[in-house]
Amino acid sequence: MTKAEQTATKANASEDGIVGIDYMRGFGALFVLLYHLIGRVNKIYPISPEVLHYSILGTFGVDIFFVVSGFCIAFPFFGSNRPLNVPEYYMRRFFRIYIPHITVLLGLFLLFRAGFSFGGLNLSRTDWISNFCLLNAFTKSPHINAVTWTLCYEIMFYIYFPILFLVFKKYSKRAFNIFCIAFLATGAVCSACGIRSMLTDGYYITWILGIVLIDLYKRKNRIIGNPVALVLGITGIVAFNILATQPVVFYGPLLKGISASLIVAFAIGIGKRIMVLRFLGIISFSIYLIHNVSFVLLERIYQTLAHNSVFAALPVGLNIAFYSGYLLVGGLLFGTIFFFAVERPSLLLIKVLSRRIRAKWNYAL
């Protein structure tokens, strides 16, 4: 393990050493990165509809992130019966997202002022404020950073969790499980009937599925940590998306949410430490946040180079391969730099503030 990996691991350790969670974070970030990468490549080198069809797999990474989010938020409390210190909880959750988010948004604002285009968006002051406050998923404001709509949902998850925790604590585990089943059933019926609302949105159901996985993990269910089941699960998802006549865009509980929760369930019990995959999971949030910004910069550089006679003389297939690799490596490199420059210091700051809050306010549920 390299010194950089050791540093990153200390700053952002898995929940109680569950390395499978890091693996899922890493794969989720890669899915989303590749989804946006294919879209960027298609802008310069038109890609066949079949390849674009496969890119819908990238949206599956979002569901993995939401399942992992539900598991990781709840595990310290449901998995070990630790009391919930409300001030500390909200500080950790909101700082965890807002410090990296604001840093990226500031970078995008500077690029916007420098004349970089974001898909031809005509951004107003209201749009910037909405994105800054992570309200853009609930308003008509465009997503300046394409992934921030998921952070809006994360913030809502954070707000809801103490309520679920109170239900669990006051009315027992059985009542909590009944609540989750009822919520899932309501969401499934609403989704099947085409009824959309915030409370029955498929993403909230996906998040609750992550919480439900804690019970499976504690029971050491047979599917937990089964590598064969994990490989078969991922292969099945890929095959289903590829063989489908239309791109799969339904995010409800009957498709990607349940599929993602099954794959995370297979993964969370894996104990084998593959350091490259674990490191990828540790820096996954930075990759997730920064890759679109890096693509804007890298695309501008590439368009300058593409006029070079050497690139112009290459077959289109080689240009696509080179450009794809260039964006992939660049996105991962930017994510790594962002982790050590921004996310890691913010995690260390959160630890310091947590100790102070626990010492000053002992308001626990």
Bridge partners (DSSP) of residue 364 are 85
Question: The tokens of 361 are what?
Answer: 């306010």
Bridge partners (DSSP) of residue 8 are none
Indicate the pTM of the whole model: 0.84
Provide the percentage of residues in the chain whose pLDDT is more than 90.
21
Q: Is the pLDDT at 121 greater than 80, yes or no?
A: no
Q: Does some domain include residue 231?
A: yes
Number of domains comprising the chain: 1
The pLDDT-based confidence of 301 (bands split at 50, 70, 90) is confident
Best CA proximity match to 231, nearest among 255, 263, 259, 208: 263
pLDDT for res 170 = 66
Question: The tokens of 243 are what?
Answer: 């063989």
Helical H segments across 114-147, by residue range: 125-132
Q: Does some domain include residue 332?
A: yes
Do residues 164 and 176 touch, judged by C-beta distance below 8 A?
yes
Q: Is the pLDDT at 82 greater than 80, yes or no?
A: no
Average pLDDT over residues 234-252: 55
Q: Is 157 exposed, middle or buried (0-12, 13-18, 19+ CB in 10 A)?
A: buried
pLDDT for res 225 = 57
User: Residue 133: helix, strand or coil by DSSP?
Assistant: coil
pLDDT tens digits along 174-207: 777 777 777 767 766 766 666 655 556 677 778 8
The pLDDT-based confidence of 227 (bands split at 50, 70, 90) is low
pLDDT for res 244 = 55
Q: Does some domain include residue 222?
A: yes
pLDDT for res 194 = 62
Spatial separation of the C-alpha atoms in residues 333 and 111, rounded to whole Å: 19
Best CA proximity match to 336, nearest among 34, 7, 61: 7
Q: Is the pLDDT at 275 greater than 60, yes or no?
A: yes
Spatial separation of the C-alpha atoms in residues 83 and 363, rounded to whole Å: 9
Q: Is the pLDDT at 213 greater than 70, yes or no?
A: yes
Sign of CA dihedral 150, 155, 159, 165: positive
Average pLDDT value over all residues in the chain: 78
Q: Does some domain include residue 63?
A: yes
Spatial separation of the C-alpha atoms in residues 254 and 187, rounded to whole Å: 9
The lowest-confidence range among 22-36, 141-155, 237-251, 311-325 is 237-251
Q: Does some domain include residue 365?
A: no
Query: Following DSSP, what letter does each residue of 314-337 receive, concatenated?
Result: S-HHHHHHHHHHHHHHHHHHHHHH
The H or E element spanning position 30 is helix 19-44
pLDDT tens digits along 200-211: 667 777 888 888
| Residue partners of 230: CB distance under 8 A and separation at least 6 | 263, 266, 267, 270
Q: Is the pLDDT at 285 greater than 80, yes or no?
A: yes
pLDDT for res 300 = 83
Q: Which residues of 253-269 are buried (b: 16+ CB within 10 A; e: fewer)?
A: bebbbbbbbbbbbbbbb
pLDDT for res 248 = 47
Structural domain of 11: 3-360
The pLDDT-based confidence of 7 (bands split at 50, 70, 90) is very low
